[in-house]
Structure 1
Amino acid sequence: MGERAVILLSGGLDSCTCMAIAHAAGQELYPISFNYHQRHRRELDAAKSIAAHYHVAEHLIIETNMDAIGGSALTDSAIDVPQGDAERTDIPVTYVPARNLIFLSYAVGYAERVGATHVYIGVNSVDYSGYPDCRPAFIAAFQRAADAATAASAEDGRRIVIETPLQHLSKGEIIRRGDELDAPYALTTSCYRGGDTACGVCDSCLLRLRGFAEAGLHDPIPYAAGKN
């Protein structure tokens, strides 16, 4: 049996690229996705489609009620989704408090259960979102916590490695890498508004469109008229 990898699979472009990278490495894929009562729940349908594309044996979907915490435009409908502001450098209102800390904790637990030695997360700090839980310092700190906290590490020295293959790539470089690996980008969704057609004006859509332009490739998903 080859190595196993847990992939945090949101249904978006970056996590889909991580799936493609782990698949190309010959690892057995165990995606994990979350219904955290997010505004754009269509991404769960996208995650299921991506998982099916790779014929995974198991796709774990966790229900966690992060709208009870609130504080984000992605979990609180009273906070407007920003648009046309993808170049901002402060922490945007689309930041979900401690989301990656929580998601990685679930992913490491899942990795222990299925015997995986890798956990992939599509964080990126070049086309910087402003999210503090996407920074290299956070990933390094979480790796230390996982090393100290897991039975896999304590009992048999089986380290679960947090993999961040997109950390230092631009969005265009990420897309080119995924394209080389035949990542099924047509199945992905990025729009914060969560409609059947991407709006083309929210921060996430703008970053995605800019990335495809940088890569010199056509984005295969539908957008509102004239946006791509």
Structure 2
Amino acid sequence: MVTNKKDGALVLFSGGQDSATCLAWALDRFKRVETVGFDYGQRHRVELDVRPSILEVFRTEFPDWAGRLGPDQLLHLAALGEVSETALTRDVEIAMEDSGLPNTFVPGRNLIFLSFAAALAYRRGLRHIVVGVCETDFSGYPDCRDDTMKAMQLALNLGMDRRFVVHTPLMWIDKAETWRLAASLGGPALVELIRDETHSCYRGDRGTSHLWGHGCGECPACKLRAEGWRRYRAAPAAGVTVRC
């Protein structure tokens, strides 16, 4: 379903479940889609290692999308890791902090990602920016909220004198519905790709395999993904409504 034959899209693609689903969503809608990832010294940087193989499968196993998938770029943002004292940028135990947020929260991360993505989209002539943030199944991260995304869209448009559209296909759906969305977009082949190849585990564990994918099985990201998979398998054919 190509809804816009002229405009192109840039997908923030980390190598995880959510961003892979968003990539499929964008390929289903736009004639030209590019991807960008960010290396900020993350503890689970294995997610960056799986990105090329996932993109290759998109090109080889999904012929309707292969011709729309353009270049990928990896941007190095080491400074973000250097100023962050979090469980995603340091080898410390994952825990809740006095603020009520988990210490996996990297302050400013999505704001910085969107700023760099918009700068790249500006140069590449891409109007649409797609990001896999979610306010339904999330840890309270303030930079994943719908209000934050709307504010960022306004700031980017004012600051760059462009009319970017920031799309958040997963904003109002949970992890089970995210699996269902993948199934509706690419069938069992896409579900299998996301399950087997994407990475979500905060601890970077690729050695342990589960029905829902690879991961330690204990960190918040693994638990969220596993529970979503369980509920998806219990009702795989349930409908999903996506607002973007």
Q: Give the TM-score category using the shorter length.
A: 0.7 to 0.9
> Matched residues, percent identical?
37
1:208 equivalent in structure 2: 225
2:174 equivalent in structure 1: 170
Query: Which structure ranks higher in relative contact order (CA pairs < 8 Å, sequence separation ≥ 6)?
Result: 1
1:130 equivalent in structure 2: 140
Task: Verify: 1:90 aligned to 2:100, yes or no.
Answer: yes
CA shift digits 1:179-218 (9 cap, x unpaired): 222233022011111122311111000000001111117x
Secondary structure in 1 matching 2:182: helix
Letter aligned with residue 213 of structure 1:
R
Letter aligned with residue 49 of structure 1:
S
Task: Verify: 1:67 aligned to 2:84, yes or no.
Answer: no
Uncovered stretches (5+) of structure 1, i.e. residues with no partner:
154-158, 218-228
Letter aligned with residue 72 of structure 1:
T
Alpha-carbon separation, structure 2, partners of 1:119 and 1:213: 30
Secondary structure in 1 matching 2:200: coil
Letter aligned with residue 123 of structure 1:
V
Alpha-carbon separation, structure 2, partners of 1:69 and 1:51: 31
> Which structure is higher in strand share?
2
- Number of residue-to-residue matches in the alignment: 206
Secondary structure in 1 matching 2:30: coil
Alpha-carbon separation, structure 1, partners of 2:185 and 2:50: 18
Uncovered stretches (5+) of structure 2, i.e. residues with no partner:
60-68, 208-214, 235-244
Instruction: Give the alignment's TM-score, normalised by structure 2.
Output: 0.80
Aligned partners of 1:71 and 1:97 also within 8 Å: no
**1:103 deviation in Å?**
0.2
2:11 equivalent in structure 1: 7
Change (3 A) 1:95 1:27: farther
CA shift digits 1:105-125 (9 cap, x unpaired): 011111111111100000001
Aligned partners of 2:9 and 2:30 also within 8 Å: no
CA RMSD of aligned residues (A): 1.9
**1:50 deviation in Å?**
2.2
Instruction: Give the alignment's TM-score, normalised by structure 1.
Output: 0.85
